[in-house]
Amino acid sequence: MKLIAPSYYPAFSCIADQCRHSCCIGWEIDIDDKTAQCYRTFSGKIGDRMRTNIDFSADPPHFILQGAEERCPFLNERGLCDIILTCGEDALCQICTDHPRFRNFFSDRTEIGLGLCCEAAAALVLGWEAAVTMIDLSDNGENTEPTEEEQTFFALRDSLIAVLQNREQPLDVRIDKMLSVVGGVRFDDMRPWAEFLSGLEILDAVWTAALETVGDEMEVLPGHTGEQLMVYLLMRHLPKMLDGEDPATLASFAVLGYDLICALYASSPEHDFVSLCELVRLFSSEIEYSEENLYAVFDEIASSCP
Ligand code: SF4
């Protein structure tokens, strides 16, 4: 069984106290059983803090967020994690260890990627110059074969990504070609979509404010950022076709994400890499990281597909 990741993956590291949108603020973090058991009996002052600041009666247990900002009780005033500082990274629960990583599971491999809701991941992925490839991180020697369905999926995804990475053509041409392969749909006006997304569950009012600025203009994203965004969205979401989602809808979602970012970037007061990453981070947090919102968008796309 192999562990496979996009080529930028090994270059990731959390920027901790430099992070402006820490994943330790505003998210209720569930603690896996094994770690909860360990935290319940931890000794010393940190153990006392664990017993006071974790809701063990909840299923699953979770950290009790603090104040209006909803900070993790172990995020100190310097923006660092007291559990890591006191007990080391190995003491983290599974979600804290994993974030912002996500995984897709197949018969012969697990694919691991970096979610764009993390600003450090967004900067790494969008700023990656070379065309992304998949690299082997490890192989436990267990030989399993992909199913026929998975082989079809891999072949389709490889062919769509190859179209997107053909840098001899403008990205818009590549995107239209990619969509024509799967019979997807591309929306030429982002304003109705901005209105639709505003009606979904919202985490941060900044997202609503950004959606309100969407007009009829689109701005081509600089360098290879648009290609990297498209490739990321396909790598992450196209595997859902193995769970029964329509590949045309999933590819259309990737294009919708790209086009929406182009529209948001066009109406943004700032036009630099940092503000682009921030728009992508917002999109990812609000849509990709809310299953409810994500599937509402899929349904809306599906209802518009021919
Ligand atoms: S969002 Fe990313 S960079 Fe920020 S604290 Fe979390 S993992 Fe680190």
Tell me: pLDDT of 138 over 90: no
User: What's the gap in Å between 268 CA and the centre of ligand 1?
Assistant: 24
Find the helix packing angle between 191-198 and 247-267, rounded to 10°: 100
In this prediction, residue 143 has a pLDDT band, given cuts at 50, 70 and 90, of confident
Query: Which of 119, 124, 280 should be mutated for ligand 1, with most atoms under 8 A from CB?
Result: 119
What the block records as the tokens of 81 is: 């994690």
In this prediction, residue 67 has a pLDDT band, given cuts at 50, 70 and 90, of very high
Contact 96 CB / ligand 1 (< 6 Å): no
Q: What are phi and psi of 174, to 5 degrees?
A: -60, -40
User: What's the gap in Å between 121 CA and the centre of ligand 1?
Assistant: 8
Q: How far apart are CA 116 and CA 114, in angstroms?
A: 6
Residue 100 Cα: closest atom of ligand 1: 7
Give the distance from CA 204 to its chain's centroid: 16
Contact 118 CB / ligand 1 (< 6 Å): yes
Residue 117 Cα: closest atom of ligand 1: 1
Contact 23 CB / ligand 1 (< 6 Å): yes
Contact 84 CB / ligand 1 (< 6 Å): no
By percentage, how much of the chain surpasses pLDDT 70? 99
Contact 25 CB / ligand 1 (< 6 Å): no
What the block records as the tokens of 244 is: 């029964």
Tell me what pLDDT residue 306 has: 63
User: What's the gap in Å between 224 CA and the centre of ligand 1?
Assistant: 23
Query: Which of 97, 118, 277, 284 should be mutated for ligand 1, with most atoms under 8 A from CB?
Result: 118
Contact 100 CB / ligand 1 (< 6 Å): yes
Q: How high is the mean pLDDT of the chain? A: 95
Contact 99 CB / ligand 1 (< 6 Å): yes
Contact 15 CB / ligand 1 (< 6 Å): yes
Contact 115 CB / ligand 1 (< 6 Å): no
pLDDT, tens only, 156-202:
999 999 999 999 999 999 999 999 999 999 999 999 999 999 999 99
Q: End-to-end alpha-carbon separation of the chain, Å?
A: 39
pLDDT, tens only, 247-266:
999 999 999 999 999 999 99
* Torsional class of 38: left (φ above 0), alpha (ψ -120 to 50), beta (otherwise): alpha
